[in-house]
């Protein structure tokens, strides 16, 4: 294969969780009693901000009085900071917590120990919070893998599957206009 030539058996895809996070927000808006919802996030980058915005819009759609407070931990996997962020949000009055970090286990378990409701991220954390788990934004990779395998067996080139968008389409005009204001020195945001 020459440089610049596309391979017939190679492709890429990326799963976005902004729509499931919107559904999480709807559930969180219905579940909160304090109208304060906490979001633990790794870094203020576009995909994370998209999930935060989607979550917030979902919460506001069912509870216009809901406020979403965000704490950025600064990295993808910092369990101690994640636990501290959950505790700080709960201490600030949040009674529903969600997150966008690599390993949401600490966030979910900390929320459960503190007796607040929680929405998951990436995969089901329901077994980690039997009393407080509401719902979660989850990848179902087996769906896309089965679809690609079926197309490969049929000797068809895989096309874009629902729920997976090319990276270049990620930043739509809508997502640019709904992004929360941010500052490099700001660690906590209320939206």
Q: How confident is the model at residue 191, as a pLDDT?
A: 54
Instruction: Tell me the C-alpha distance between 3 and 81, whole Å.
Output: 44
Candidates 95, 90, 101; CA nearest to 31 is: 95
pTM metric for this prediction: 0.76
Q: How confident is the model at residue 81, as a pLDDT?
A: 98
Instruction: Provide the residue-wise pLDDT of the chain in tens; the chain has 191 residues.
Output: 677 777 777 777 778 899 999 999 999 999 999 999 999 999 999 999 999 999 999 999 999 999 999 999 999 999 999 999 999 999 999 999 999 999 999 999 999 999 999 999 998 999 999 999 999 998 888 888 898 888 888 865 555 555 554 443 333 344 333 444 443 333 444 45
Asked whether the CA dihedral 140, 143, 146, 151 is positive or negative, the reply is negative
| CATH classification code of 18-139+171-190 | 3.40.50.2300
Q: How confident is the model at residue 141, as a pLDDT?
A: 85
Q: How confident is the model at residue 71, as a pLDDT?
A: 98
């Amino acid at each position: 294969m020459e440089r610049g030539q596309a391979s017939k058996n190679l492709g890429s895809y990326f799963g976005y969780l902004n729509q499931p996070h919107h559904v999480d927000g709807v559930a969180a808006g219905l579940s909160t009693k304090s109208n304060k919802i906490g979001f633990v996030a790794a870094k203020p980058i576009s995909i994370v901000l998209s999930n935060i915005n989607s979550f917030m819009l979902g919460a506001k759609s069912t509870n216009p009085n809901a406020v979403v407070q965000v704490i950025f931990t600064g990295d993808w996997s910092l369990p101690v900071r994640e636990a501290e962020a959950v505790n700080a949000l709960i201490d600030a009055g949040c009674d529903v917590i969600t997150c966008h970090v690599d390993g949401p286990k600490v966030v979910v378990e900390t929320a459960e120990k503190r007796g607040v409701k929680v929405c998951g991220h990436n995969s089901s954390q329901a077994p980690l919070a039997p009393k407080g788990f509401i719902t979660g934004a989850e990848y179902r990779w087996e769906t896309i893998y089965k679809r690609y395998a079926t197309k490969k067996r049929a000797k068809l080139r895989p096309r874009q599957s629902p729920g997976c968008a090319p990276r270049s389409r990620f930043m739509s005009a809508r997502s640019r206009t709904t992004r929360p204001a941010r500052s490099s020195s700001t660690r906590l945001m209320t939206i």
